[in-house]
Structure 1
């Protein structure tokens, strides 16, 4: 993976469960459409209206293939529509970051 899309969501804190269901659906949809789902994250302490989604791609061409697959995916379209109808996402921002490969997926090293 070379690029990570960081999605920052401002959510309605009174509809946290609806956003969680939305995120859980992406857990099925994103990998099926070609993205590497790193995860979705709900607010726990501190701000109660900010959530995150992180999706990895090999390059921008892989992202474009993912977007095309997503447009054809019935569950993906339904998930977007659910968010639109229930308005639990108030704002969404995307940032693209280049991975520092030597720091990704590092397991803890045991030292005696």
Structure 2
């Protein structure tokens, strides 16, 4: 899970940023479960949820940060618009209905 503090005035840029990252996660073996943006009232909070089949698969994906041109281009949306003020990543595991 990635928790973002966003600039509400740059929500459209954040959506472009999010759509690009959804493509990249899916292309590199992950499953993106979506970005969750403010729906009512003033808010600067947004969330992204995605998963990978293993820690090794996630680490392969992370190794592309800063070097793969598509990753750099996606981050440029964030950097040039200022849509993300800060973010933090939390690793979680699901407890799903019917699980044992």
Query: So what's the TM-score if we normalise by structure 1?
Result: 0.77
Partner of 2:16: 21
Which structure has the bigger radius of gyration? 1
Say if 2:13 and 2:77, in contact at 8 Å, map to a contact too: no
What is the rounded CA distance, in whole Å, between the counterparts of 2:27 and 2:56 in structure 1?
Answer: 17
Gaps spanning 5+ residues in structure 1: where?
Answer: 1-5, 105-112
Instruction: Tell whether the 8 Å contact from 1:33 to 1:69 is kept in structure 2 after alignment.
Output: no
Contact 1:12–1:89 (CA<8 Å) still a contact in 2?
Answer: yes
Higher strand share: 1
C-alpha RMSD over aligned residues: 2.0
Partner Cα distance (1:18, 1:51) in 2: 13
The size of the alignment, in residue pairs, is: 99
1:44: Cα distance to partner?
A: 0.6
Please state if 1:67 is matched with 2:62.
yes
- Counting only pairs closer than 5 Å after superposition, residues 1-112 of structure 1 correspond to structure 2 as 6-102=1-97
Report if aligned partners of 1:10, 1:91 keep a CA contact under 8 Å in 2.
Answer: yes
Following TM superposition, by how much is the alpha carbon of 1:24 offset from its aligned partner in structure 2, in angstroms? 1.1
- Which structure 2 residue ranges, 5 or more long, are not aligned? none
In 1, Cα distance between equivalents of 2:97 and 2:58: 22
Deviation beyond 3 Å, 4+ runs, structure 1: 69-73, 101-104
TM-score by length of 2: 0.85
